[in-house]
């Protein structure tokens, strides 16, 4: 009856969409106090971390006191045995004998992060993403095509799918777009959830053939969706596009509503702070680093966790009536930024301009050293020297002429281990990034 639990949580979560901003804030404070105390008293990792930092949960007496809670860096979790973090423990203080699920996040930097989850945590993660889908028009009887990495497609079918409920059709990004297009024609899904690069390859094939395939809704996530890719998806599938933002650690963080004006943050499930280099909150409209407190993750807590991404919050309330605050844009995923020799980081989004180049099929920017970037390009037709030089010059301008640009023509861009084609990959260590003390 595990799925019944998810259904119940989903029902409650949908009710919370009607909350006022004041109700949301009251609830967040109540949950914040609860999870900080719980983590301190039950997780050896948090107890030690907070004791060392001279922090006690009693210091949190108002919502604003959240800033007194020490910031948690990704590196700390990476370097810790996950068994020290979990809060469910037996009388000897050992992790309780539960049906723990171990999840490894890949991360393009090669340093994995291991999370241990209970079913209780997983119900919340699943309900949260289904709620986001439901706001994009998804209904439980819809056929949903999921275009992601092949590894995830190994999940077996659930019994309820045979009854026509939450039917998922997994398609791997690693197989040819021709094959995936045929699968889509056969499945005729009402809803697609995909990595942008996976579904874009199919869209480009359709455009190339002068065809369209009607799919009402496409939700994208895990990679940055630039506006040119969005337009191509709309054109090829006549679809309404919704972008989602989330991470492996805390699941879905925000989702685009039908007003298509920013992404609502799941504020009943997490507190999202945007902080400047010194750790102070940035005003709405300004870019800051994403720090998340996951209020539903009681068994493996993430409290004031610096995800490493950057985003901008929008002022005001959305025309759809939901009072959960909105992110205007996620400007930089932690692993899709480029570092200039001056030490400044620039968002990978700046490179979307390159997509306007007609002879270019796909590109990837890779930074392995301080002074240069590689521009890997898969081409439709072999460029003339003049065209290639112009592209290199354009790319140099985007990095403010601070980096050398080394072009490299490749037959095909390979998917990374997690089945994504990231447009921008920075292999420099980010240990000296702001807030990472």
Catalog residues that contact Zn ion under the rule CB under 5 A.
Answer: 257, 259, 318, 320, 322
From the number of C-beta atoms within 10 Å of its C-beta (0-12, 13-18, 19+), residue 163 rates as exposed
Minimum CB separation of residue 281 from Zn ion in Å reads 23
Minimum CB separation of residue 225 from Zn ion in Å reads 18
335 token code pair:
């692993």
User: Nearer Cβ to Zn ion, position 77 or 318?
Assistant: 318
CA distance 433 to 429: 9
User: Nearer Cβ to Zn ion, position 319 or 427?
Assistant: 319
73 token code pair:
């860096």
Minimum CB separation of residue 126 from Zn ion in Å reads 22
294 DSSP β-pair partners: 270
**Nearest Cα to 7, choosing from 241, 145, 165?**
165
Cβ proximity of 354 and 360 under 8 Å: yes
User: Nearer Cβ to Zn ion, position 66 or 253?
Assistant: 253
351 token code pair:
């490179």
User: Nearer Cβ to Zn ion, position 5 or 135?
Assistant: 135
The three-state secondary structure class of 249 is: coil
User: Nearer Cβ to Zn ion, position 310 or 326?
Assistant: 326
User: Nearer Cβ to Zn ion, position 262 or 348?
Assistant: 262
Residue whose structure tokens are 């009856």:
1
Q: Rounded to whole angstroms, what are the CA distances from 180 to 167, 196, 323, 362?
A: 17, 14, 38, 18
Minimum CB separation of residue 323 from Zn ion in Å reads 9
- Close Cβ partners of 110 (under 8 Å, ≥ 6 residues apart): none
User: Nearer Cβ to Zn ion, position 246 or 297?
Assistant: 246
Minimum CB separation of residue 266 from Zn ion in Å reads 13
**Nearest Cα to 354, choosing from 226, 185, 167?**
226
Minimum CB separation of residue 381 from Zn ion in Å reads 43
CA distance 44 to 378: 49
Minimum CB separation of residue 51 from Zn ion in Å reads 42
What is residue 89's DSSP assignment? B
Minimum CB separation of residue 254 from Zn ion in Å reads 11
331 token code pair:
């400007």
245 DSSP β-pair partners: 254
Measured CA angle at 118 (ends 218, 29), to 5 deg: 80
**Nearest Cα to 368, choosing from 309, 408, 418?**
408
- Close Cβ partners of 156 (under 8 Å, ≥ 6 residues apart): none
User: Nearer Cβ to Zn ion, position 69 or 318?
Assistant: 318
Residue whose structure tokens are 């940055």:
224
Beta-strand relationship, 191-194 and 217-220: parallel
User: Nearer Cβ to Zn ion, position 15 or 99?
Assistant: 15
Minimum CB separation of residue 28 from Zn ion in Å reads 19
Minimum CB separation of residue 314 from Zn ion in Å reads 10
User: Nearer Cβ to Zn ion, position 82 or 262?
Assistant: 262
Dihedral (CA of 274, 422, 224, 175) sign:
negative
CA distance 92 to 300: 19
User: Nearer Cβ to Zn ion, position 259 or 390?
Assistant: 259
Minimum CB separation of residue 264 from Zn ion in Å reads 6
């Amino acid at each position: 009856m595990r799925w019944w639990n998810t259904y119940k949580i989903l029902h409650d979560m949908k009710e919370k969409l009607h909350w006022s901003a004041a109700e949301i804030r009251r609830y967040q404070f109540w949950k914040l106090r609860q999870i900080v105390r719980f983590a301190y008293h039950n997780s050896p990792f948090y107890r030690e971390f907070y004791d060392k930092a001279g922090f006690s949960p009693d210091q949190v007496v108002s919502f604003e006191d959240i800033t007194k809670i020490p910031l948690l860096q990704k590196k700390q979790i990476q370097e810790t045995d996950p068994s020290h973090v979990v809060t469910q423990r037996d009388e000897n203080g050992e992790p309780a004998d539960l049906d723990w699920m171990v999840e490894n996040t890949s991360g393009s930097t090669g340093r994995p992060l291991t999370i241990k989850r209970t079913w209780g945590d997983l119900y919340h993660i699943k309900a949260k993403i289904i709620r986001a889908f439901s706001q994009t028009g998804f209904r439980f009887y819809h056929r949903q095509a999921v275009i992601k990495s092949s590894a995830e497609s190994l999940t077996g079918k659930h019994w309820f799918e045979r009854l026509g409920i939450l039917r998922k059709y997994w398609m791997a990004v690693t197989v040819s777009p021709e094959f995936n297009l045929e699968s889509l024609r056969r499945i005729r899904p009402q809803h697609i959830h995909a990595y942008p690069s996976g579904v874009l390859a199919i869209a480009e094939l359709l455009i190339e053939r002068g065809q369209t395939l009607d799919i009402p809704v496409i939700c994208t996530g895990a990679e940055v969706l630039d506006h040119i890719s969005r337009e191509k998806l709309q054109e090829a599938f006549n679809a309404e596009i919704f972008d989602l933002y989330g991470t492996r650690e805390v699941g879905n963080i925000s989702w685009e509503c039908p007003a298509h004006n920013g992404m609502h943050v799941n504020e009943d499930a997490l507190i999202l702070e945007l902080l400047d280099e010194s750790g102070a909150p940035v005003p709405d409209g300004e870019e800051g680093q994403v720090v998340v407190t996951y209020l539903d993750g009681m068994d493996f807590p993430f409290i004031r966790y610096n995800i490493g991404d950057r985003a901008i919050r929008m002022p005001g309330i959305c025309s759809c009536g939901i009072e959960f605050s909105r992110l205007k844009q996620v400007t930089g995923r932690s692993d899709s930024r480029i570092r200039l020799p001056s030490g400044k980081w620039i968002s990978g989004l700046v490179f979307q301009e390159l997509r306007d180049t007609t002879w270019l099929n796909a590109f990837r920017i890779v930074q392995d050293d301080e002074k240069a970037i590689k521009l890997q390009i898969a081409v439709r037709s072999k460029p003339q020297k003049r065209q290639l030089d112009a592209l290199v010059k354009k790319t140099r301008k985007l990095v403010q002429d601070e980096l050398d640009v080394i072009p490299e023509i490749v037959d095909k861009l390979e998917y990374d281990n997690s089945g994504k084609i990231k447009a921008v990959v920075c292999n420099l260590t980010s240990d000296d990034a702001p807030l990472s003390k």
